[in-house]
Structure 1
Amino acid sequence: MELLINIDVDDLEHGIGFYEAGLGLRLGRRLFDNSVAEMHGACAPIYLLAKEAGTVATARADARRDYARHWTPVHLDFVVEDLEAAIERALGAGAEIEDWPQDFDWGRQARLSDPFGHGLCFIEWRGQGYGAVASP
């Protein structure tokens, strides 16, 4: 099975700029009459989809796209080697900090949001990472 990650943004150029400068991804190609940007550098391609604010998200719901900070049960975690450096880079590109780094048995984590309201986390592994908390 192949995994593709799609992220709606209301300004494609701003999205490309943030994900390049803030996360170190790189633009692979543009698709669908320049309405989609395929970003490389993660373990799965990330597609930024240009979708105007206020447009209907699905045919089955009245929900409309809103790029203010929002919550969804799905978010992306980016594993980084230097948590503080990753935070500074993302903040400099327009991210907002939600929770400063916290320490866990498996490593450290910080919660942020991108300029489009999407939640994301940075994780810096310690030792065995999640292996330190694996159930027998």
Structure 2
Amino acid sequence: MELLINIDVDDLPRGIDFYAQGLGLRLNRKLFDGTVAEMLGGNTPIYLLAKPAGTRPTTRADTRRDYRRHWTPVHLDFVVANLEQAIERALEAGAEIEDWPQDFDWGRQARLSDPFGHGLCFIEWKGQGYGAVAG
């Protein structure tokens, strides 16, 4: 199975800039008449999809796209070598911090949101990472 990650944004150039400057990904190519940006640099490609605010996400949806901060049970975790540097870089690129670094047996984590309201976390492993968690 192949995993692709798609993230809706209302401003594609701003999305490309944030995910490049803030997270260290790189634009590989644009697709579908320039409405999709393929960002590489992690284990899985991330596709930024230009979707205007106020549009319906599906033909059956009652809701409309809204790029203010929103909660969803799905978010992205980015494993970083230096948590503070990653946070600083992301904040300079337009992220917002939601929870400052917290320590766990497996490492450290900070919660942020991107400029489009999507939640994301930075994780800095300690030792065996999740392998240190029993059961």
Same fold, judged at TM 0.5 (above): yes
- Residues 1-136 of structure 1 aligned to structure 2 (within 5 Å): 1-135=1-135
Equivalents in 1 of 2:15, 2:77: separation in Å? Answer: 17
* 5+ long unaligned stretches in structure 1: none
User: Counterpart of 1:81 in 2: which secondary structure?
Assistant: coil
Amino acid at match of 1:95: A
Instruction: Kindly provide the amino acid, as one letter, of the partner of residue 41 in structure 1.
Output: G
Q: Distance in 2 between matches of 1:121 and 1:16?
A: 18
Residue type matched to 1:47 in 2? Y
The C-alpha deviation readout for 1:51-70, integer Å capped at 9, x for no partner, is 00000011122111000000
Q: Secondary structure at the match of 2:15?
A: helix
- Cα deviation digits, residues 15-60 of structure 1 (max 9, x gap): 0000000000000000000000000001000000000000001112
Superposed CA offset, 1:57-97 (max 9, x none)? 11122111000000110000000000000000000000000
Separation in structure 1 between the aligned mates of residue 103 and residue 92 of structure 2, nearest angstrom:
23
Q: CA RMSD in A?
A: 0.5
SS in 2 for 1:64: coil
Give structure 2 stretches of 5+ with no counterpart.
Answer: none
Distance 1:132 1:68 in 2: 36
Shift of 1:134: 3.3
**SS at structure 2 position matched to 1:102:** strand
Corresponding residue pairs, total: 135
**Structure 2 Cα separation of the partners of residues 120 and 27 of structure 1:** 19
